[in-house]
Chain A
Amino acid sequence: MRRLVIGRTRDLLNRSHQNYRHSQHSLFLSSSRFLSSAPVIDSPSSSSSPPMSPPVTLNSINPKVVKCEYAVRGEIVTLAQKLQEEIQAKPGSQPFEEILYCNIGNPQSLGQQPITFFREVLALCDHPAILDKSETQGLFSADAIERAWQILDQIPGRATGAYSHSQGIKGLRDTIAAGIEARDGFPSNPDDIFLTDGASPAVHMMMQLLIRSEKDGILCPIPQYPLYSASIALHGGTLVPYYLDEATGWGLEISELKKQLGTARSKGIAVRALVVINPGNPTGQVLAEENQREIVEFCKDEGLVLLADEVYQENVYVPEKKFHSFKKVSRSMGYGEKDIHLVSFQSVSKGYYGECGKRGGYMEVTGFGADVREQMYKVASVNLCSNISGQILASLVMSPPKVGDESYESYCAERDGILLSLSRRAKMLEDAFNNLEGVTCNKAEGAMYLFPRIHLPEKAIRAAEEVKTAPDAFYCRRLLNATGIVVVPGSGFGQVPGTWHFRCTILPQEDKIPAVIDRLTDFHKSFMDEYRD
């Protein structure tokens, strides 16, 4: 028997965090006594000079740490959190009732429900002791119970609390490989799969392998999801930008890739990899297959590793486009392991499942020699393994209920409900942005974001300069202060200089969207009234 989250439970989840007081006892916490048979003797001080400035200050920490930026949870979010605290302390103190976080692709924080079947299986794997009980049949669907048994049988000792193989549990990788094969029509090798705590650590691992010094460059789309710029900075490499073309729906031109590659090389940069985000973030475009073939050809010819961020593969909202994995495209061109280095990233955080908090994901690594694979394994092993629950979820995402399974219909209803709603919300917000004065917004063909362009009046740009703020950040801050809506300024993602954007998610619940649009529209109008040239 399955239940959708209802009633009290949903309230529980919607309530903001409260303070919870506990009484002060605990059996196994040692009290603060110490027995020392040796007297406590202060050792004589060696030199009497006072300590120099303490080691971990801003000017003495790793400069790469200081250099990197991550706007998604940057300044504007900090401001929003302060405002949220103010509302909680003094309701009515702001011109809006609540903060609406549209800065981050975090669906379940805005009310999206998890897929019931997945949660049933995870709960059973977390607490296998109940699998034998008859009451369990009454609370869980039969196929969830069966799937939990299947998964547990693939885990040595059924121990979900044990470190697994550093690439992830073999049986789960088998399932994922089978899922990839079913998706693409080309075989996938479980040993090519590295399960990670979300896709982000896998991206970091690749940057670590690829970047030897600042002379190593990584081609990244502009605009891009700032994990890439941050990771490259952290690892001391050089970001080589290639610009997506806003005028053609954020099109990716091979001529632009070639041009940027040439420029970088002429500066002495060894360009090692090409990052492609498909569907795009923040831009939302879904690449046409022909485009993908050009990209594959380009990487093959130039000896670049193709880093294919495909975490939004299940988020496609337009009938004229389909997701094709780069692996499928390469293989259907007849290119195999010897022809192209390819790393494909997938995550449990997006799609229709939106399980961000679980930190589950993987990379599939093809076209590398055994010696390099050994190094990847070694790096993975230092962290021992990724969290088991996330591994299980990744395998569920790649092999959901099938026709004939007890949960199939309700699973489909949940999945389609979410995807259709996302599709509608994408359209509603796109239209709303396009209706604003001086704002143009490309369609979100996929992913979870809109990236409208605002043509800011000169007056506004000057006002921003006066307060030493980037014009898009200035706009976003004013938007936040007036409406409580949190978006991320385009400068956090990169944009053609002199253009201004912001990224807004399509994730607020559908019934909230009209109010969001109204507030946005009212704010924009008054902003333009204030700054119109």
Chain B
Amino acid sequence: MGLKALDYESLNENVKKVQYAVRGELYLRASELQKEGKKIIFTNVGNPHALGQKPLSFPRQVVALCQAPFLLDDPNVGMLFPADAIAKAKHYLTMTSGGLGAYSDSRGIPGVRKEVAEFIERRDGYPSDPELIFLTDGASKGVMQILNCIIRGEGDGVLVPVPQYPLYSATISLFGGSLVPYYLEEGANWGLDVNDLHQSVAQARSKGITVRAMVIINPGNPTGQCLSEANLREILRFCFQENLVLLGDEVYQQNIYQDERPFISARKVLMDMGPPLSNEVQLVSFHTVSKGYWGECGQRGGYFEMTNIPPRTVDEIYKISSISLSPNVPAQIFMGLMVNPPKPGDISYDQFVRESKGILESLRRRARIMTDGFNSCRNVVCNFTEGAMYSFPQIRLPRKAIEAAKKAGKVPDVFYCLKLLEATGISTVPGSGFGQKEGVFHLRTTILPAEEDMPAIMASFKKFNDEFMEQYEDYRSYSRM
């Protein structure tokens, strides 16, 4: 018999092309070492609870009550759950069409979508339509759904920042489209230059690619930069001129560690700019319960909001959502709770604020500790983590190290990261997983390890790095930016 249906050779080529380094080679090697008994510090993925961050109490109380509604009838329930959690559980159960176990509307529970719309309105100062908000099993599924609509074939290009979170490159590969890179400027704090955008688009078009969409990640992943309002205006104007739909990945909007550039949503800026842009630029904005100070990655809860998307297209997107029937209901409740947290006067308010503040302030401190720690290392330069959850230091690898990597059959930053892993147990993601300028190397780590562990981790890194540099350094040359 010839090739069988699921032999490697006969797999969908697009699948084979996909790369997703966040759980790629380094992670797999780290998992192997962990099985062998080595202590591993996983900093490869933005997964706060895995590194000791505690879930917020209030949402867990509410969802537990929704899981087991019989508790609500028990006279003793008040001994374990505060009254406002009990009230909230009833509030959300009423919104469902039969509790947590029933498929909801394919776009998500209408009442929750309304709460999301109200949150967006409070945040931005402009009304938002719940009918244009779709809840999804995590923001990633939403991104994939929208890209699936946009990409018709390899002739369709999507502008993606480099470095980027590799969900975008992986999804574009999977759907057979073309990734059109635009480079963020490391020397300018990972800033975005509109001229570079124009150049990227022109280059793509000269290859016969129809550029259809532009992705921005704000705050950035892995780069952490927070876009200024001016930058957002430039981007929106660019999308207007070039006829691109803007995909605004804003999942880290609650993770801001400096005060000069607070988060502003792309939608707000778009509305501020007024007509014709505010009526014409197509925008899809993404958010999640996985990041911020919630960190509820395992729930798989997210949403996307559509702006200026024609009704018939919205219908098609709805149709695709309906094939998956509905997003998971517990996560929808998490989403409702996130956009509608306890208010002053609520029984749980003080504890909620204490827990939230604790997490955010610690993240801010850790962002600083890590940046400074990396900058104190030989041949390492690190931009400050303005937002999100990552640090993305540049490692200036000496020529000898690059040669050694080649000999070992490894990309230079993979080589470095593997050695780092073996020496220290710190599991990172090599910069090549995110894209970077030719000849420039980075790694991505999260700022999530517990604050008390940070000094030891940074010391361990510094020891490894400085010894590595000494081993491979040749006073006459090192890799240059």
Contact = CB atoms under 8 A, between A and B. Distances in A.
A377 to B, nearest CB: 8
Per CB-CB distance, the 9 closest pairs between chain A and chain B, nearest first, are A3-B70, A357-B329, A127-B64, A109-B102, A123-B68, A162-B50, A388-B298, A109-B98, A159-B49
Contact of B300 (A8, A42, A208, A387): A387
Interface string B16-54: 101010111000000000000000000001011110100
A386 to B, nearest CB: 7
Given A123-B71, A198-B324, A55 B212 contact: yes
Interface in B204-260: 212-213, 228-230, 233-234, 237-238, 240-241, 243-245, 254, 259-260
Interface in B324-358: 324-331, 340-341, 343-344, 353, 356
Contacts of A7: 73
Nearest to B149: A61
Nearest to B213: A55
B150 A62 contact: yes
Contacts of B24: 378, 381
Contact of B70 (A4, A32, A389): A4
Contacts of B13: 212
Contact of B7 (A19, A24, A68, A372): A372
Interface string A1-24: 111111111001111111110111
Given A2-B70, A139-B77, 4 more contacts: A36-B229, A51-B280, A157-B52, A349-B103
Contacts of A385: 298, 300
A334 interface: no
Interface of B: 1-8, 10-16, 18, 20, 22-24, 45, 47-50, 52, 55, 57, 60-61, 63-65, 67-74, 76-77, 79-80, 90-91, 93-104, 106, 109-111, 114-115, 118-119, 122-125, 137-138, 140-141, 144, 148-152, 167, 170-171, 174-175, 194, 198, 212-213, 228-230, 233-234, 237-238, 240-241, 243-245, 254, 259-264, 268, 280, 282, 293, 295-300, 308-310, 312-313, 316, 319-320, 322-331, 340-341, 343-344, 353, 356, 360
5 contacts: A126-B330, A161-B55, A372-B7, A372-B11, A383-B144
A163 B70 contact: no
Which label, helix, strand, loop or mixed, suits the secondary structure of the A interface?
A: loop
Interface residues of A, number: 137
Contact of B123 (A29, A107, A162, A384): A29
A312 to B, nearest CB: 16
Interface stretch (A111-119, A244-252, A426-434): A111-119
A328 interface: no
A107 B100 CA distance: 12
A54 B243 contact: yes
Contacts of B259: 35
A472 interface: no
A413 interface: no
B23 A13 contact: no
Contacts of A267: none
A389 B100 CA distance: 11
Nearest to B1: A303
A27 interface: yes
A3 B80 contact: no
Contact of A161 (B5, B72, B119, B296): B296
A17 B74 contact: no
Contact of A61 (B91, B150, B343): B150
B261 A35 contact: yes
Contact of A375 (B15, B23, B312): B15
A61 B174 CA distance: 17
A305 B6 contact: yes
Contacts of B282: 54-56
Interface stretch (A128-136, A171-179, A181-189): A128-136
Nearest to B341: A26
